[in-house]
Amino acid sequence: MQGTIRKAGRGTCVAAVTLAAAGAAQATVVMNSTRYVYTADAKEITVKVSNVGKLPALTQAWIDDGDAKATPEHVDVPFNLTPPIARVEAGKSQTLRISYTGGPLPVDRESLFWVNVLEVPPKPVANDTNKIQLAFRYRLKMFYRPAGLSGSADAAPEKLAWRLAAGGDLTISNPTPYHVTLNEVRLNGIEVEPFSVPPLGTVTTKPAQAVMPGVDTRVAYKSINDYGGFVPHSKTVEGP
């Protein structure tokens, strides 16, 4: 049996699960953040991986550029991550170091990458058939932020332009050079699935049920800042 665990907006934790018996399960490896920002002037950034379990844990880490199915040996990104494989003792932490190798990236906007940390389960005891085998994988956003971008990441969510079409499509335009991740989006109280808007880009989505555009159409939403915090906003939505 396989299952997937996802955390909307902040990051993704995927668990491949093999169950031989019913029971509770949880990751013993935890991360120190839900997102990371690599500024152009940084020599490196660090990611702290902690083992909160009672047994040693083996971890494998890599960075991808958007393909969640890409394996470590097939990714091609302008970053080095060390160590790619580590044993983390119970109650201890491991620091991963990420450095930019100088590959070509846009200088007028942020670029999005993903930090993957896979917790490899220990080998089961041969005669123990009542074990739960888990392979937890964290997949968290990492933004590469060039120098000299206009405005700020904190101000970007307020600059989004919202427009509701007669057919119910909701279009959100981002005129800033920063990625904006949204959660708890409601249009006149109607829920909209969480989503992200790329820098200088546009996203079209639909509310959970039809919303008629009007002069009083409002959207309430929360953006996620560099530290993983939720910031509330409210804006008027343009009609067709």
pLDDT at 127: 64
Q: What is the pLDDT of residues 119-176, one digit of tens each?
A: 987 776 666 666 666 788 999 999 999 999 999 999 999 999 999 987 889 999 999 9
Helix or strand or coil: residue 37?
A: strand
The domains of the chain are located at: 11-145, 156-236
Strands in 79-82's sheet, in edge-to-edge order, are 29-31, 45-51, 93-100, 79-82
pLDDT digits (tens, 9 = 90+) for 9-23: 445 555 443 333 334
CATH class of 156-236: mainly beta
pTM for the whole thing?
A: 0.85
- Average pLDDT of span 51-65: 94
Q: Which residues contact 22 (CB under 8 A, 6 or more apart)?
A: none
Architecture field, domain 11-145: Sandwich (2.60)
Please give the pLDDT value at position 194. 94
With a CB cutoff of 8 Å and minimum separation 6, the contacts of 151 are: 159, 176, 177, 178
Fold: same for 11-145 and 156-236: yes
Residue 85 has pLDDT above 80, yes or no: yes
Give the pLDDT mean for 213-217.
77
